[in-house]
Amino acid sequence: MVGGHALGYVYIGAIGLITTYFFHGREHARNLVQNCTNCGACKAVCAGGIELPKLIKEIHARIQDEEGHPLKSLMLGKVLKNRKLFHTLLRTAKLAQKPVTGGTPFLRHLPMIFSKEHNFRVLPAIAKIPFRDRFEGLNQPLKNPRHKIALFSGCVQDFVYPEQLEAAMKLFAAANVSVSFPMDQSCCGLPAQMMGEKEAARDVALQNLAAFENEDVDYIVTLCASCGSHLKNSLPDLVREYAPKKAAAFAEKIIPFSQFMNKIVGINPVKGKNRKTAFHSPCHLCRGLGVRQDPKELINKSGNKYVETSEEETCCGFGGSFSANFPAISHEILTQKLDDVEKSGATLLVTECPGCVMQLRGGALKQGRDIQVIHLSELF
């Protein structure tokens, strides 16, 4: 979007983000190294197979360790390390947001502390009742289940989009799948890692390992591709000095919703309206977890018609803290994505990540697009 040379000092692109620190010092690297959506595209095309996203995050963390951690990332790390405090703040936000929601499920306008640049999408409000408070009422005990799973919700679906998890619970029940939900689970820890708070990301990883340690299940299913990729690929590395065997066993059970429903459960096709439906492939799903076909097969099984788009595997521009730090670039990436969906003739856009739903749905609403954005679990 901005050109490779803008991303590095002498060396361009992802390599530039890394080598600038070593060749020209952290004063040139401190801002550049944050200009990464963690989409994994650089690693995917690297002929040498270099773990570029991992190295970028490592340089970011190292710079902050050397210079001191910015207040916003330091506070984020401290909050995420304390699950009870984190969830209390989210529950409190439900009340504090009332002046800016106007009784709608969206934030109608941002507080003045945000610049106009950040107002390029409509943002969702915190849900009235989080999923963790709904789970017991939704869960149906089964005598002879086909599969036993534990559900990893992630913080966005737990507190912002619980309806996505509710839709999945109905599908699990229909497929005779037993579900457990460890209440001590928290954020996956990816936001902390992206902000350079490596220690906080490690502590959160250890908390989640403890939360799922006694779950006698076949799989740990997540509806968030970002959570899934982080838990499967990054968590074992974060805790390798503390709980390598537990982490390996935990990561082995992680499976994304689409793969579980399509390959393990084998959901039956249904007749529908044959609506033209595009798929936005979350970066952490297609490149992070290597899952590409399952979501598209589920779209067709839902009675809708999957249509291919040119930008299907292109990042939506969210990238967590990236869209907050670089809103103008995030906006342009988002617009390119929505333009591509419109060109395909699709009026329904499906994805498998709540962060992508937030970006794409918010952008479509803000720009007045005739595109409905939903999570894959809400198709059936």
Give the mean pLDDT of 52-58: 94
Confidence (pLDDT) at 304: 96
Mean of pLDDT values over 320-327: 88
Q: What is the mean pLDDT of residues 23-52?
A: 91
CB count within 10 Å of CB 58 equals: 17
Of 36-40, 113-117, 189-193, 251-255, the range with the lowest mean pLDDT is: 113-117
192 pLDDT more than 70: yes
User: How long is the chain?
Assistant: 380
Using alpha carbons only, what angle is made at residue 221 by residues 216 and 223, rounded to the nearest 5 degrees? 155
Q: Once rounded to an integer, what is the mean pLDDT over residues 315-338?
A: 93
**Is CATH 1.20.1050.140 correct for 131-262?**
yes
Average pLDDT score over residue span 67-86: 94
What are the pLDDT digits (tens) for 239-270?
999 999 999 999 999 999 999 999 999 999 99
pLDDT confidence of residue 12: 80
Inter-residue contact 39 to 319 (CB < 8 Å): yes
Residue 108: pLDDT band with limits 50, 70, 90? low
Per-residue pLDDT tens over the stretch 331-379: 999 999 999 999 999 999 999 999 999 999 999 999 999 999 999 999 9
- Taking a C-beta distance cutoff of 8 angstroms, is the pair 284, 226 a contact? yes
DSSP string across 16-57: HHHHHHHHH-HHHHTTGGG------HHHHH-TT---HHHHHH
Residue extents of the structural domains in the chain: 4-67, 71-124, 131-262, 267-379
Section 290-313 average pLDDT? 97
Q: Does domain 267-379 have CATH number 3.40.50.1860?
A: yes
- What mean pLDDT is reported for the chain? 93
Residue 272, pLDDT > 90, answer: no
